[in-house]
């Protein structure tokens, strides 16, 4: 895992270019403290901060050169061992044991299509000396970040916002559409947009080609999820296939020349990963890291974590709970590394979790992101399930499902009626319309009249309402933000975070499952529970509550160590309806928690605009 930076700019001098490149690299030194390298073939400048994970030798440092191509690369291609053997049959020779060299050999053999053979996470730029192009690619789910600025024959790229702030093309002009997506929906990224108008993100599963001599830039997709095509295997065959794919994913995610550990929350996902690691390596001493909170209404998952440890005694647990002083002290640093005005307080918990991991000198950690999005882990899935029953004229099943959800969640009669009403809404509205309604109505709308009415587009994909919901969770509405936090928080402490649930082979298989195999009645992630039965501790396999990465931030922290965030106005945000914001914050100060999540978003946005723009 690393930080990349570079540019092509014929208007800059060699001396100024090297100075600028070093400044860009220095901005993200935390991403790669083990080595720094640069390469210049004017007007091309490539830079790299290395976190050494695979092949720790200096020969594997970057920029890396192979025949007539050079690369700066951030990520891991986990199947590099198998690809290396395949490439040897074509006559390729290798001087290192790194996956970096395999990427370049693959590019020579298959061109841009090489990435379709990769299993992993990546963002990279290949400089093709012969073709005079910069070829960039980002992994299928956008696990690793890639940002760029382009104007004419000038092209700058980097791993984080802060990398590009040194560029002469960078501007502090705020992208109001992204601000409003953050405030109203909690999204911190969308397609190629960022919080700054001129700063672009390369979307997940896309290539970028920049022609150095002409300045032409093109961005093209190379992969998309196929939906609405269901497998005809029996459920038992599907269970076995899921177990096979998950086992393979965890196995190759353990490939490393440094120690690997795990995050462990006590929930289904992280527990599944730790349990599988122990099944594969039963005698392996394995470190697991957890954050918890104690107090009225707080979430303490240690009882479930102990279920994993009791079943797998080789697991060594590490716990941490941040104090009030630590939360206040580290908030600025956490937001600095995040690069965005974070839309929920859980990112601070994750920040302290990664800090704990870094303090134990762990370089690689496995985490559980992704399965909620494609295995129906969120309660909002139930609206779409009932809607699909209604669309099929199965009214009894729709009512029965809603009643089951009501019993599971202890909903009152009026709450069940509201739940069913939302299901009816899902019958007559696609995801674009549903999120449009949420954008305008879930929270008080905070933008003044200059804002775009609906600054996003969620396409309709093949399949039922549930398929459409899960597809957009993966690529637009939920996962992109979670992966942003995952990358920034881990790399803030020079830790590589790997996400085994996002092996694309596993995800593609999951999208071929029918709804009832993912959400069976009110039991989420049904196939995973059944596939890992006997591997997962029984108490976790049968666990029905879903806590998420819950923190007390939106209420307790804003009234405690972070109350200073509410003490200043919105003088830097002319696009915010200031009287409405002041009124909502005033009600919160008086004890009204109805819009606590929105108050958090307003407060962190204000802090971001004042301190990082």
Residue-wise pLDDT for 236-278, tens only, equals 999 999 999 999 999 999 999 999 999 999 899 999 999 999 9
Same domain, 117 and 255: no
Residue with tokens 């200073």: 564
Catalytic entry in 2, 263, 342, 451 = 2
Q: Is residue 588 part of a domain?
A: yes
Q: Are residues 104 and 26 in the same domain?
A: yes
Q: Do 458 and 489 fall within a single domain?
A: no
Reduced to 3 states, what is the DSSP secondary structure of residue 174? strand
Say yes or no: 453 and 589 in one domain: no
Q: Which of 161, 186, 221 is the last residue of a domain?
A: 221
CA distance 360 to 252: 23
Is residue 510 located within the same domain as residue 527? Answer: yes
Angle in degrees, CA 175, 342, 442, rounded to 5: 80
Last residue of a domain, one of 430, 448, 475: 475
Which residues of the chain, if any, have pLDDT below 50?
none
DSSP 534: T
* 228 assigned to some structural domain: no
ω into residue 43 within 30 of 0, thus cis? yes
Q: Tell me, yes or no, whether 526 and 586 share the same domain.
A: no
Q: Which of 190, 221, 252 is the last residue of a domain?
A: 221
Is 613 part of the annotated catalytic residue set? no
CATH number of the structural domain spanning residue 71? 3.60.20.10
Verify that 344 and 487 share a domain, yes or no: yes
Find the CATH number of the domain harbouring 345: 3.40.50.620
DSSP string, 101-140: HHHHHHHHHHGGGGGGG--EEEEEEEEETTTTEEEEEE-T
Is the same domain home to 15 and 94?
A: yes
- Number of structural domains (the chain) is 4
Tell me which residue range forms the domain holding 388: 381-475
Q: Does residue 450 lie in a domain region?
A: yes
Does residue 226 fall inside a structural domain?
no
Strand partners, 2: 50
State which H helix or E strand residue 364 sits in: strand 364-366
The rounded distance, in Å, linking the Cα atoms of 454 and 440 is 8
Question: What pLDDT score does 326 carry?
Answer: 96
Strands (E), 9-62: 35-41, 44-50
CB atoms within 10 A of CB 569: 12
Q: What pLDDT shows up at residue 449?
A: 63
The answer to the question of residue 6 being in a domain is: yes
| Angle, alpha carbons 210-212-218 (nearest 5°) | 20
Instruction: Please report whether residue 469 resides in a domain.
Output: yes
User: Is residue 432 assigned to a domain?
Assistant: yes
- Look up the pTM and report it: 0.96
Domain identity same for 120 and 69: yes
Residue 548 lies in a domain: no
- Domain shared by 52 and 156, yes or no: yes
Residues 207 and 240 in one domain: no
The per-residue pLDDT for 295 is: 77
Query: For residue 209, which phi and psi values (nearest 5 degrees)?
Result: -125, 125
Least Cα distance to 9 among 131, 150, 124 occurs for 150
Contact 445, 181 (CB under 8 A): no
Q: Please state, in angstroms and rounded to a whole number, the distance separating the CA atoms of residues 299 and 533.
A: 26
State whether 338 and 416 are in the same domain: no
Taking the chain, what is the end-to-end CA distance rounded to the nearest angstrom? 27
């Amino acid at each position: 895992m690393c930080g990349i930076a570079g540019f092509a700019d014929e208007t800059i001098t060699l001396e100024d270019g090297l100075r600028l490149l070093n400044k860009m690299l220095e901005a993200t030194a935390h991403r790669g403290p083990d080595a720094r390298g640069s390469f210049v073939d004017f007007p091309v400048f490539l830079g790299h901060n290395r976190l050494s994970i695979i092949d720790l030798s200096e020969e594997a440092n970057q920029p890396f050169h192979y025949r007539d191509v050079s690369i700066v690369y951030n990520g891991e291609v986990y199947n590099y061992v198998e690809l290396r053997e395949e490439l040897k049959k074509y006559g390729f020779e290798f001087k290192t044991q790194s996956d970096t060299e395999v990427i370049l050999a693959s590019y020579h053999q298959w061109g841009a299509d090489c990435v379709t053979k990769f299993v992993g996470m990546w963002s990279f730029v290949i400089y093709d000396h012969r073709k005079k192009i910069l070829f960039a690619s980002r992994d299928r789910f956008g696990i690793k970040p890639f940002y760029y600025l382009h104007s004419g024959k000038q092209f700058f790229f980097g791993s984080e916002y802060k990398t590009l702030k040194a560029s002469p093309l960078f501007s502090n002009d705020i992208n109001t559409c992204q601000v409003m997506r953050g405030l109203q929906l909690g999204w911190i990224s969308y397609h190629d947009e960022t919080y700054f108008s001129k700063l672009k993100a390369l979307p997940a599963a896309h290539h970028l080609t920049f022609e150095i001599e002409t300045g032409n830039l093109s961005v093209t997709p190379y992969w998309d999820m196929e939906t609405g095509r269901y497998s005809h295997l029996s459920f038992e065959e599907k269970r076995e296939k899921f177990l096979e794919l998950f086992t393979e994913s965890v196995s190759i995610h353990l490939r490393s020349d440094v120690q690997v550990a795990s995050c462990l929350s006590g929930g289904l996902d992280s527990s599944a990963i730790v349990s599988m690691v122990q099944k594969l390596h039963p005698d392996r001493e394995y470190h697991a890291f957890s954050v918890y909170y104690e107090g009225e209404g707080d979430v303490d998952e240690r009882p479930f974590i102990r279920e994993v440890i009791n079943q797998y005694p080789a697991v060594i647990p590490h716990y941490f709970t941040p104090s009030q002083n630590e939360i206040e002290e580290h908030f600025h640093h956490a937001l600095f590394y995040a690069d965005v005005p974070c839309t929920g307080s859980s990112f601070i918990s994750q920040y302290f979790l990664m800090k704990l991991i870094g303090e134990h000198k762990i370089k690689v950690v496995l985490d559980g992101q992704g399965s909620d999005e494609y295995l129906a882990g969120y309660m909002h899935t139930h609206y779409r399930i009932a809607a699909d029953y209604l669309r099929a004229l199965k009214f009894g099943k729709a009512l029965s499902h809603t009643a089951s959800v009501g019993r599971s969640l202890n909903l009152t009669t009026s709450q069940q009626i509201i739940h069913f009403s939302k299901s009816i809404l899902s019958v007559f509205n696609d995801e674009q319309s549903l999120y449009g309604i949420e954008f305008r109505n879930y929270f008080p709308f905070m933008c003044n009249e200059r804002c775009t009415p609906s600054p996003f587009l969620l396409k309709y994909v093949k399949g039922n309402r549930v398929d459409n919901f899960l597809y957009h969770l993966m690529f637009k509405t939920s996962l992109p933000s979670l992966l942003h936090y995952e990358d920034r928080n881990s790399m803030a402490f020079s830790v590589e975070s790997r996400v085994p649930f996002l092996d694309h082979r596993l995800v593609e298989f999951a999208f071929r499952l029918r709804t009832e195999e993912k959400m069976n009645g009110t039991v989420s992630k049904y196939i995973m529970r059944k596939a890992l039965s006997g591997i997962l501790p029984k108490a976790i396999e049968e666990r029905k509550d879903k806590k998420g990465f819950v923190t007390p931030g939106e209420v307790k922290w804003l009234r405690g160590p972070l109350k200073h965030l509410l003490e200043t106005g919105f003088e830097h945000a002319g696009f915010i309806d200031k009287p409405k914001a002041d009124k909502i914050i005033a009600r919160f100060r008086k004890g009204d928690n109805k819009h606590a999540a929105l108050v958090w978003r307003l407060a962190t946005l204000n802090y971001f605009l004042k301190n990082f723009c």
